[in-house]
Amino acid sequence: MVTRGALGVLLLLHLASDQKNSATMHEESRQPCKGLINANRFDDFSLEDTAKCFSACAQSGNESCNLGNLQRYWLNYEIHLVEKSLTETVNMSFLKALVKNINTNISEDLHFSLTPSQVPKQVTEDEHRHPDRVRLPRSLFGSLQGSRPMVRLAITILNVGSGNVFKGPRLSLEDDSSVLNNHVVGLSLGHINVTGLAEPLEITFSHQHQPPNVTLSCVFWDVTKGSLSSPGSSGDWASRGCSTDVGVNGTICRCDHLTFFALLLRPILDQVTVKALTRISQAGCGTSMIFLAFTVVLYAFLRFSQQRLNSEDVPKIHVALSVSLFLLNLAFFINVGHGLKGSDAACWARGAVFHYFLLCAFTWMSLEAFHLYLLVIKVFNTYFGHYFLKLSLVGWGLPALIVIGAGSANSYGPYAIRDEKNTATLELCWFCEKTAISALYVTVHGYFLITFLFSAVVLGLVALKIFTLSSATAGKEKRQHWKGVLTLLGLSSLVGVTWGLAILTPLGLSTTYVFALFTSLQETLSLDSRRHSRWRS
């Protein structure tokens, strides 16, 4: 009886284990971004289901996504269109395709339009000057004439979205590199491998005029390439066999084979520019540190010599901002000076410290703007108990919470600025490349945008107040208008509005130099504003 009961228990446990494994396998099979459930299905439902992964696989390390399987799916779909499908056109929101039988004994080149919002169509030579187009040389088909009189050609335009599918290890989303309009163009003859064309095909990608610090390169998806750091990613973008002819409003790509093609946009800073910007920043930061140290020492001296300063909050806020900027400049010098020297833990710490003092500077600039709002705009009912203590909790505490959160996600590590040859021109400890994209955008770009908009609104209200009073007293003081302008210039630097020049840096290198100069000299520029206030509200 005991033996029979034990066997029954073992049988129940075995059945329960089988059910659990079956449920687990069923759960995994229902995840389309694994690339398994729709692997050999190309009906409309499967295409739409798999296309959802373009946005779902937007974060690195997403365990529910297998980039290699997803990329192979779309490569196999082109072969399916040529070899098995009877469809001639596909018109979906994310996919436009044309399948056409081509006589190999043609006497002229073939031209097709590639307008992303329309299904590709063949156009005549006279009307082939569409903004987006492809030219297939007749020699391509003539080389196949001996083996077959007719071939089937598939042309696809695939919108891969802003996620990680068809991005590959080469494309770093960290530094704003991207596929032009997120569109990939596919050309396929099915299982017929076309390489080493004597006369290359031409694909024209239309685009707006690009700033000089952005490089454009024609690339194709090379399934033979991969990355040790991204074992799940099958393939990568490569430029072998392709040339790039950049124009004002379009770029012509000439390639000697058929596959998926795209135009990559990559912001670059060459070695000379990086060195020049680094020297400007170091000189400006060094100058600012002198004035910052002078400000803190002067406040300490006046506080001991004039007891009334102990109860005033205005100089305390100025000094808190001065300290945060001084420490930010110091962290910058250490970070740039050491590069990636030392252990991974030391690099992590330098990145975290640099991030912390950058956020502290942004926070205290916005607190300066908040205090300016109370003094100039609200004026009445502005008393708060333990006012400076509360500001300090926000100014030093909020950045600490953000850095702790980013650090717990292991966001800090080596970071590199690269040139057009993908060679590192500057290395420092910051956010890890490719693995901390969302953390960088949220805790730096997003945080800065919020503080900048708040400071800009307050400065606008103060400007309105100043010039309203200036108009009322114009007869009494002729130079009142210019005093108001100078005051606003000083206040704009004090509350960090000069950092808004970062928004203009994509316009070209000149704005990048201006941004580096003004932000590194922020304390020097705002000194007149503080001197004018004379430590009083």
Residues 155-175 pLDDT 10s: 999 999 888 889 887 664 445
358 with 214, same domain: the answer is no
CA distance 164 to 55: 8
Q: How far is the first Cα of the chain from the last one, in angstroms, to the nearest whole number?
A: 93
Number of domains in the chain: 2
Is the pLDDT score of 190 beyond 60?
Answer: yes
Give pTM, 2 decimals. Answer: 0.64
Instruction: Check pLDDT > 90 for residue 331.
Output: yes
216 and 284 assigned to the same domain? no
8 A C-beta contact, residue 270 and residue 423: no
Residue 178's SS3 state is strand
| Residues 362, 388 within the same domain | yes
Which of 9-23, 25-39, 238-252, 300-314 bottoms out in mean pLDDT, i.e. has the lowest? 9-23
Residues 6+ apart with CB under 8 A from 423: none
Among the three residues 234, 267, 300, which one is the final residue of a domain in this structure? 267
Q: 37 lies in a domain?
A: no
Query: Is the pLDDT score of 489 beyond 90?
Result: no
Of 267, 302, 337, the domain-final residue? 267
Q: Which amino acid is at 78?
A: E
Higher pLDDT, 305 or 456: 456
User: Cβ(292)–Cβ(525) under 8 Å?
Assistant: no
Helix then strand count (H, E) for the chain reads 15, 16
Nearest one of 99, 103, 101, 87 to 44, comparing CA atoms: 87
Kindly state whether residues 261 and 118 are assigned to the same domain: yes
Assess if residue 41 is contained within a domain.
Answer: no
Report yes or no on 2 lying in a domain: no
| pLDDT in the model for residue 300 | 84
Answer yes or no: is pLDDT of 333 > 70.
yes
Task: Quote the tokens at residue 128.
Answer: 């082939």
Q: Are 430 and 444 in contact (CB under 8 A)?
A: no
Measuring CA to CA, which residue among 230, 243, 208, 232 is closest to residue 131? 208
Q: Does some domain include residue 16?
A: no
Find the mean pLDDT for residues 99-117: 92
Residues 451 and 469 in one domain: yes
Using a pLDDT cut of 90, give the percent of the chain over it.
Answer: 39
Residue 240 lies inside a defined structural domain of this protein = yes
Contact 53, 129 (CB under 8 A): no
In a domain, 28, yes or no: no
Task: Pick from 101-105, 142-146, 395-399 the range whose average pLDDT is largest.
Answer: 395-399
The CATH code of the domain that includes 116 is 2.60.220.50
**277 lies in the same domain as 249:** no
The C-alpha R_g of the chain, in whole angstroms, comes to 31
pLDDT of residue 27: 44
Element (H, E) at 509: helix 509-520
The DSSP secondary structure of 181-224, one letter per residue, reads: GGEEEEEE-TT------SS-EEEEEE-PPPPTTEEEEEEEEEEE
Q: In whole numbers, what is the pLDDT of the chain averaged over residues?
A: 81
Residues 289 and 262 in one domain: no
Tell me if 12 is assigned to some domain: no
Report which of 474, 452, 454 is spatially closest to residue 519, judged by C-alpha positions.
452
- Which of 178, 201, 173 has the alpha carbon at shortest distance from 188? 201
Residue located via tokens 């335009």: 157
For 371, half-sphere exposure in the C-beta direction (CA atoms, 13 angstrom radius) is 25
Quick check: is 123 in a domain? yes
The mean pLDDT value for 341-347 works out to 89
pLDDT in tens, 264-295: 988 777 677 788 888 888 888 888 888 889 98
Write down the pLDDT at residue 60. Answer: 56
Residue 366: partners with Cβ closer than 8 Å, 6 or more residues away: 451, 454, 455, 495, 496
Pair (252, 283) in one structural domain:
no
With a cut of 50, say whether residue 534 has pLDDT above it.
Answer: no
What pLDDT digit, counting tens, does each position of 416-452 carry? 877 666 667 788 899 986 666 778 889 999 999 999 9
Q: Are 320 and 360 contained in the same domain?
A: yes
pLDDT of residue 127: 61
pLDDT of amino acid 506: 64
- What's 330's domain CATH number? 1.20.1070.10
- What is the residue range of 392's domain? 271-531
Indicate if 367 and 462 belong to the same structural domain.
yes
Domain identity same for 346 and 220: no
- Collapsing DSSP to helix, strand or coil, 3 comes out as helix
- Residue 269: count other Cβ atoms within 10 Å of its Cβ: 20
Please check whether residues 310 and 457 belong to one and the same domain: yes
H-type alpha helices, 59-109 = 67-83
Question: Residue for token digits 């000149």?
Answer: 510
At 480, the pLDDT band (50, 70, 90 cuts) reads: low
- Residue 306 vs residue 185, higher pLDDT: 185
The last residue of one of the domains, among 267, 292, 308, is 267
- Residue pointed to by tokens 């941004």: 515
